[in-house]
Amino acid sequence: MEILDAVVIGAGQAGLSASYHLKRRGIAHVVLDADPGPGGAWQHRWDSLTMDDVHGVAALPDSDSPAGATGRANTVVPAYFAAYEREHDLPVLRPVRVDRVTSEGDLLVVHAGDRTWTTRTLVNATGTWSQPYLPHNPGIETFRGEQLHTVGYPGPDHFRGQRVVVVGGGASAVQLLGEIAPVAADTLWVTRREPVWRTDDFTPEGGRAAVALVEDRVRRGLPPASVVSVTGLALRAQEREAERLGAYQRHPMFTAIEPDGVRMPGPPLDDGSRWAADVILWATGFRPAIAHLAPLHLRSEHGGIRLDGTTAVADPRVQLVGYGPSASTIGANRAGRVAARGVATHLAQAESIAS
């Protein structure tokens, strides 16, 4: 039986960065990726998301960033990742969807259908895209219109002439409203909390402070918050038309979903306190895609995985990258380097115990 020094699960920004650094250290590993082609979650982003819309995709280690590239993010970034995998000859196997990881003595066994890989350490880099989060709301099953999540956003034309409720207080809600409001019959934006608008220009110090807050959460074993939830929101030139149309007037969450709309808590909107809707678009974010790690019992009593750097405190054979504070392209890059160091440290310790 072949025993690998490391298995990386996921070939997005975080997994590729980890693989690059593992390779540089001469650590034998494979990268298992569920998608049909290179690009991580970027290959699934909606067609209208251009490189001008994204907040910037950081360069992978030892490479130039795709900054300055124009065109659709879901083709530019996958092409960039594909070239990177080739150039650095990274050992990516796909499509391989990992179902579970189990512990067998000192080793970890990674299962995907009837295939298994046995390894001394694991770097988990599975992102969030496959775990869209949809909060339960009373009456949700009674709605006769259409319900969509960001993950299946079909582009603005789909909403032409429709009355659309957009739910969620993050960057995706703001961007999608910017596209939908100019073509929809009307939009209603609802969020659980008052959105936090960024008033000053975004600074690197502000960004670092935001990441530090999320870092603190995972150090304490709390579920990670999204980095943007602490950096605040901003409108860009392409959202000015929606702003002029009043799309960014935020309303509190509806109290219930009804067959033809949503019941608002406050004073009359539309028909009494009901807002008639054809579509509800849930821009309610994602959760870490880590169900396959459940057999390792990594979760703390607070519901998150407690990390020291990128190392799981409950099982130091496991590194988590692209999780919590490293869930951005810059963070994922750095986490890949830290994780490779964590793997090397664990392997060295295990070897010194054995000898």
Positions that interact with ligand FAD (CB under 6 A): 9-15, 32-35, 40-41, 45, 54-57, 96-98, 125-127, 129-130, 172, 289, 292, 322, 327-330, 332
Shortest CB 149 distance to ligand FAD, Å = 11
Token couple for 27: 């650590």
Nearer to ligand FAD, 149 or 163 (CB): 149
Nearer to ligand FAD, 221 or 288 (CB): 288
Shortest CB 139 distance to ligand FAD, Å = 27
Judge whether 43 and 78 are in contact, CB under 8 Å: yes
Shortest CB 351 distance to ligand FAD, Å = 28
CA angle 76, 291, 349 (to 5 degrees): 90
Nearer to ligand FAD, 274 or 299 (CB): 299
Reply yes or no: is the peptide bond before residue 95 cis, omega within 30 of 0.
yes
Shortest CB 76 distance to ligand FAD, Å = 12
> Which residue type, as a one-letter code, is found at position 315?
D
Long-range contacts of 65-74 (CB under 8 A, 24+ apart): 72/47, 73/42, 73/45, 73/49, 74/39, 74/42, 74/43, 74/44, 74/45, 74/46, 74/47, 74/49
Judge whether 179 and 201 are in contact, CB under 8 Å: no
Nearer to ligand FAD, 153 or 248 (CB): 153
Nearer to ligand FAD, 125 or 257 (CB): 125
Give the integer Cα–Cα distance in Å for 174 and 341: 38
Shortest CB 86 distance to ligand FAD, Å = 16
Shortest CB 266 distance to ligand FAD, Å = 30
Nearer to ligand FAD, 9 or 242 (CB): 9
For residue 11, give the nearest of 99, 107, 80 by alpha carbon.
80
For residue 112, give the nearest of 9, 257, 19, 198 by alpha carbon.
9
Give the integer Cα–Cα distance in Å for 353 and 61: 32
